[in-house]
């Protein structure tokens, strides 16, 4: 969903940080949408669209965070 925003052309960590903030805002928005749907329908099967969007956004965040942590670990190992 936010793949194009995760890194600027230079791979700037500032861009990465602000992208995570954007992703968290979107995650919260999707969480509220999912909660609203569940409150209205009382059946997650009627909220599959919201579930899939939330899942996709969380996967994007988790993969991006994992990538960043691996880069940090690699940088720390190389500078030690």
C-alpha angle 29/66/54, rounded to 5°? 25
Task: Decide: 30 and 1 in contact? Cβ < 8 Å.
Answer: no
Instruction: Name, in order, each residue with C-beta under 8 angstroms of 5's C-beta and a sequence gap of 6 or more.
Output: 15, 19, 22
Task: Decide: 77 and 36 in contact? Cβ < 8 Å.
Answer: no
Greater confidence, 25 or 21? 25
Greater confidence, 17 or 40? 40
Chain segment 26-72, per-residue pLDDT in tens: 888 899 999 999 999 999 899 999 999 999 989 988 998 899 899 88
Task: Decide: 64 and 6 in contact? Cβ < 8 Å.
Answer: yes
């Amino acid at each position: 969903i936010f793949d194009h925003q995760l890194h600027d052309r230079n791979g700037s960590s500032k861009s990465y940080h602000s992208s995570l903030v954007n992703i968290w805002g979107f995650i919260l928005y999707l969480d509220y949408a999912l909660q609203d749907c569940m409150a209205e329908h009382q059946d997650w099967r009627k909220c599959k669209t919201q579930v899939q969007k939330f899942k996709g956004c969380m996967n994007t965040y988790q993969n991006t965070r994992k990538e960043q942590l691996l880069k940090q670990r690699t940088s720390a190992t190389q500078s030690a």
